[in-house]
Structure 1
Amino acid sequence: MLAFIVNNREMKELEYLIKREMDEILHDLNDSRIDHIVKDAMEDRYQVLFNLLKRFASQSEYSKYVRAKKYKCQKKIK
């Protein structure tokens, strides 16, 4: 178990940074040019960030970032 002490301002900054990174990941998950293997890694990172956000943000704040399901992998069938 690791711990660190942050003040209220630092906590808000961490919350902001995590949310922005999660927004970027959500945006990239909708990009059809990105390979599904990369998207799997992005989903994993998103989950780590979400778990971290739950430690800083209120339930009403982090509930906006709950993922209902993974992205839809659209494979081309030839």
Structure 2
Amino acid sequence: MLGFLINDEEQKEMEYVIKRELEELLMDMEDSRIDAMVKDAMKERYQTMFNLYRRVANQQECMKYIPKRSDHQ
């Protein structure tokens, strides 16, 4: 297990950067022009980023970004 110490300002910055990445991924996953194989890779990245976000954001903020389940998951 790895860990690191960050101050409040760094935590807010990490939260902001990860949140923007999650929002961009969500927007791109809705784009019908993007190939299904690329979307699968984006879903994996989203899950990784969401797991990071859970470590720096409070529970209420995390609820906004919980990945939605599709019918085939």
With the length of structure 2 as denominator, give the TM-score of the two structures. 0.92
Structure 1: state its 5+ residue gaps. 73-78
* Native 8 Å contact 1:25 1:42 kept in 2: yes
One-letter identity of the residue aligned with 1:46: Y
* Native 8 Å contact 1:43 1:70 kept in 2: no
Q: CA deviation at 1:70?
A: 3.9
* Deviation >4 Å, runs of 4+: none
Match of 1:21 in 2: 21
Q: Give the aligned CA root-mean-square deviation in angstroms.
A: 1.6
Q: How does 1:3-14 map to 2 (within 5 A)?
A: 3-14=3-14
One-letter identity of the residue aligned with 2:16: Y
Q: CA deviation at 1:49?
A: 0.6
Identity %: 53
* Native 8 Å contact 1:18 1:49 kept in 2: yes
- Give me the whole-angstrom Cα distance separating, in 1, the residues matched to 2:51 and 2:24: 17
- Deviations along 1:13-35, one digit per CA (max 9) or x if unpaired, are 00000000000000000111100
- Deviations along 1:15-64, one digit per CA (max 9) or x if unpaired, are 00000000000000011110000000000000001011111100000110
Q: In structure 2, do the counterparts of structure 1 residues 71 and 56 end up closer, same or farther at CA, with 3 Å as the change threshold?
A: farther
Q: CA deviation at 1:2?
A: 1.3
- Give me the whole-angstrom Cα distance separating, in 1, the residues matched to 2:34 and 2:18: 22
- Give me the whole-angstrom Cα distance separating, in 2, the residues matched to 1:11 and 1:48: 17
